[in-house]
Structure 1
Amino acid sequence: MPQERPVEDLTEADAKAELDRLAKAIAAADQAYHQNDAPDITDAEYDALKRRNRAIESRFPELKRDDSPSDSVGAAPADGFGKIRHEIRMLSLGNAFDDSDVTDFDARIRRYLGLPGDAPLTYTAEPKIDGLSLSLRYEAGVLVYAATRGDGETGEDVTANARTIAQIPQKLTGAPAVLEVRGEVYMTHAAFADLNANGPRTFANPRNAAAGSLRQLDAEITRARPLSFFAYAWGVVSEPLAATQFEALERLASFGFSVNPLTRLCLSPADLLTHYRRIEGDRPDLGYDIDGVVYKVNDLALQARLGFRATTPRWAIAHKFPAETAWTRLEAIDIQVGRTGALSPVARLAPVNVGGVLVSNATLHNEDYIAGRDSQGEPIRGGRDIRVGDWVQVYRAGDVIPKIADVDLTRRPADSTPYVFETTCPQCGSAAVREPGDSTHRCTGGLICPAQAVEKLKHFVSRNAFDIDGLGAKQIEMFFADDVLSIREPADIFTLARRDSSNLGKLKNRDGFGERSATKLFAAIEERRTIPLARLLFGLGIRHLGEVAAADLARHFGSWDALISTVDRASPAAERAVAADSAELVERARAADEGRRAELKKTRDAIWDDPPLPDGARTAWDDLIGIEGVGSVLAVSLVTTLSQPGERRSINRLIAELTEIQPPEARATQSPVAGKTVVFTGTLTRMTRAEAKARAEALGAKVAGSVSAKTDILVAGEAAGSKATKAEALGITVMDEDAWLALIGG
């Protein structure tokens, strides 16, 4: 499994490559867990996958993928059950793994809402049941259907099975006309032991037993298995249940639902942590499995303001219990080469069981980490370095791949020597250079390096890029090495299916392919000749261009032709921007006081103006960097990549193979700001900038970071400054915060 460095040391390009690997691992785990009821990794390992993905997306928000692992909350419903589409999506939760994550959660909420640190903010805290999520819809007090979570949008119809569970009421008294109750189906330890002792098969754990029992095609089998249910949330309701989370749970209990009795109101992060430790201490005696504690903002009005990310609410988080550690011997250190040429060291370990998972690899991040220092040069592990032959402590909490926590110097071999990092690429022999300010050595071989070429192709076919069914990492490696059915660049994937009618016959004789699988692969390739613009952009693997930024670019330009035209016109300006930024950095280093600011501006202006740029270059550049979420670093990377002759020829060959590049789907169309470009400036007093941006985008508006001729509305808060002046000069509609809220409906 590929290894990576600490999140704080990742470049955007490396982060993108890792997010691709995470997508594959989490998708496979979701299928095994949610659809097959036979997980092949532990909860700790799955949590680690999700945590790593979230950590990368938190550090690199512009890389947030449209269908990233964070955007997936389960797996597609299995065959054999009817399908029910959730009117309101069933979401997953973000995770916390230590105390600082909990305080950060509170701080993020306060920042988003603009609440000071001493403002009252209450939470609920309840055990996180390790079971199977279930949605129950009642109409006029009668249970009409029950559905599993499935992929969050569509679940399996398990109504007949749910009716056999004693803790699920068939009729409610005093409930709203429409009420969708959500909760967790689980099996107690006693019921699990009895089932394994007397049942037809042995289950691995109570969660698997509960899931397998609920998802029986014969409801009488479910009836024979003692399942339990805790209600903890709701979906569609025809009228509000209450004003707070805690009161809403009490209302559900009044309807006859079981609500976890360990749920508490907490007044601060410190209260949350106290209750977490109380529940952790009681965990062995609860009689059912839990894997953490869930915290939720208590005020439902604040929950509504906080809203949701793609698949997780901003107002809730699951604080997971810690994973285990183990000691083992470090047998070797290998180097892997990533898509961007990054050299990543991997620890090869004597296999050891960590939290139920047999571990034989661990990430070593980079040269500094091995040497016992962090990215700032400060000691880590007390300055103890890591050497081949050492006894090392391995853990899995909070990351995708096992990490090394410590080294036992008392067991270090007498003849051990410090590890010397590679200065040449192990794949192509090119120099591996560590540039100033970078923690990573990178291969300089570029296109001649097979590791980089293969990784770029893997990224191209990844789940959130072209996502070609049947063409994954393993198949890419096979085709890359094949002299007959060779794939060396993206366009080759599409010519594979049509350049020779005999290719189908050749492919079906390869290992892993038969006639059916080969035919399906060719059909999947043909299907991807139509691709959304955002997926195309992300699939190109341009450094710093993540899924969020790709979606922003797609929404802004609407078509490949419009984007590439702007990029071509902006090319001379991109070179000038790099020079201007470099010159300003030099000048700032020299500047000793504020009096040099005017000189800094003169330096930049001189570089921008002399010699004059071609017509339209500066306008095109300003258009690029004016897109919210697209800064000069990404813009330079985009323009530079698409301006390279070899890269451009490869991309043009790909574009020629595509039938249709689809524009982004329209967002809300009924709002008064749908399709308009909005800029927020100054200090907003009734909402934070993050909340303002999220609400505008939810209403179909485009949010830009700078004013241009394409801006439709400028919302000016206090001390609006130069943006307001420029907007007025351009004749753009300028309104204050109250007018904006009135326009969008409060």
Structure 2
Amino acid sequence: MEQESMFDALDAASVVSDPATRIEKLRREIEHHTYLYYAKDAPEISDAAFDSLMRELRELERENPELVDPTSPTQRVGGYVGEQFAPVRHAQRMYSLDNAMDLHELDAWTARTVEAAGRDVEFVCELKIDGSSIAMTYDAGVLAKAATRGDGTTGEDVTVNMRTVRDVPLRLRDQGIAGLSDEDGSVEVRGEVYMPKASFDSLNTAAVANGKAPFANPRNAAAGSLRQKDPTITQGRDLSTFIYAIADTQSIKADTQWELLQWLRDCGFHVNPDVKLCATPAEVHAFCEDVAEKRSVLPYEIDGVVVKVNSFAVQRELGFTAKAPRWAIAYKFPPEEKTTLLRDITVQVGRTGAITPVAELDPVRVAGSTVARATLHNLDEVHRKDVRVGDTVIVRKAGDVIPEVLGPVLSLRPEGAMPWEMPASCPSCGSPIVREDGEAAFRCISMDCPAQALERLLHWSSRGAMDIDGMGEEIVARLVESERVRDVADYYSLTEYELATLETGRVNKEGEPIHLGSTIAAKLIASIEASKTRPLARVLFGLGIRHVGKTTGEQLASAFPSMAALMEATEEQLAEVDGIGGVIAQSIWAFFANKDNREVIRRLERMGVSMEDATAGEEVPQTLAGITFVLTGSLAESGMTRDEAGARLKAMGAKVSGSVSKKTGYVVAGEAAGSKYDKAIALGVPVLTEADLLRLLEAGSLEAAGIAARTQE
């Protein structure tokens, strides 16, 4: 039976005569039930009763605007503020953790820790939430600032957005304030913002229905939602938090991590219930084994277990290395493997005609997302793994990102399952498939293959090439089917009317076709127009010349100042370009020798697409010569792609690499930075924010940008 509200006995006349008292009691009541719902997982009233309290509070505040307070539950969504995403310096550094990649490494760490402490040590085990780190500062019990982790020292101000997350208390409960060492002091708590699995699935389902790209995993979805410029979008994303740490352990009346977790609950924070106080390393080992088995049934994603020394005094004795605390470690789960049925092996035709076998799987959730397809790379790989249609196969994500079929479960192979062979003809156009000597890939030899045309069109509009935002597979396929677009030059003759009236393939309730619409059409036309100014290197990459990737495109643009000069170059001249050998030179020459290709390029030029290197003839000071940069995450604020940022760094003499090592000069970490960021922290490589990068590109040198120079080993 639902508990009676504490307000049921209030005298109605007193409520009307004293709105200030009623408002304050309503706020306390709502805060109380929010605490029970999120911190205790023990709601006492129904959602409808809670909503009724909120409606009454909103109405009273509307009638008495002078009584509105920033900490009121009604004020979770605020307006825009100028400080949003501004730098915020953390009270103390937010360290990364060292990793134990298996239970043997974990056991070795707990043994070393006990030995270093010189006495028996208690440990606290907490689930390692796969989300986005957050630090929140409370002044006099009121939420004053929330910041992302950033580089560990300085993060970004996301206070406005964090106020919309319903399990974040806008002010601490009295019981929590009483636990502060200095009741009038400030405190910085830390934790993780995450998106539940069900909410992630709903978000992606809605995105796909609206023609938008889905998020790769809940962690990226949480990080992206946290950095929305419009806080109402963040509010609609159903984010949650788990809080588990404090910047300064001496700022509260607690002596252990276990007591800290209880204090956090008292404050009103959402604390993960799956934590364990372990008296011995053996208990730590057992807890990690148990969690690894049940991770798939949790309503949120985890990628390991964090193990901490319980005593704050022992933590202080053990201290820190330059990179991480000595008193904590992250036990990382091995790559998650699942079994599922291989329904079919189909082939996919690429933009250069390469035929790639693809495993069509019964959908299975692996490492945070649903996998239904996985590349099998080539025929040799299919035979090496001996996967056959009808097999039960083992699936995992390489690096927790790329779906991969490891092989079959032979004991479950059905009778009569036959080895798979490449089809003799292209499934798209029916032309013969051939395999050239020395190559692993089979290819369709037809230049008129519709599948190749579709892939070439998609490649041209992709972010790494001409970056026509919104020109995704569904729209391009419809443009090809309706014969509005046959080659990349046709993009630039499209009208807003043609796009607006393009049928999407869906129908409304009346059975009438749904069209793309004027809003999307206008955005696409603007994006197409913007693509005309892309650098020559991007144009060359976008043309889909075989063997010409991003780096080769940059080398060609550097050696030849214009498309006209490149088109007239001989094979010998092309082969002389640094990094381009005979095979690539022949492929480039053959592409430009083709009259159809030359005609497409002439049409692109007539439509206004840039055919010259904008930096040709300019002398850019090589202030970054010899320094290696690695870029990770998205550069959301500037709107640049990583390739564009990399090209600008290269123009200043820098090297841009895809991997982090001790010799890396700097790592530039954008939004949703991944493992490269973690590796940089672990190796002590300086991490620059997107703001640092923009300042560097504007100033022209590290010194002028106020960035400390790094002496590389």
Name which structure has the greater RCO, CA cutoff 8 Å, separation 6+.
1
Task: Specify the structure having the higher radius of gyration (Cα).
Answer: 2
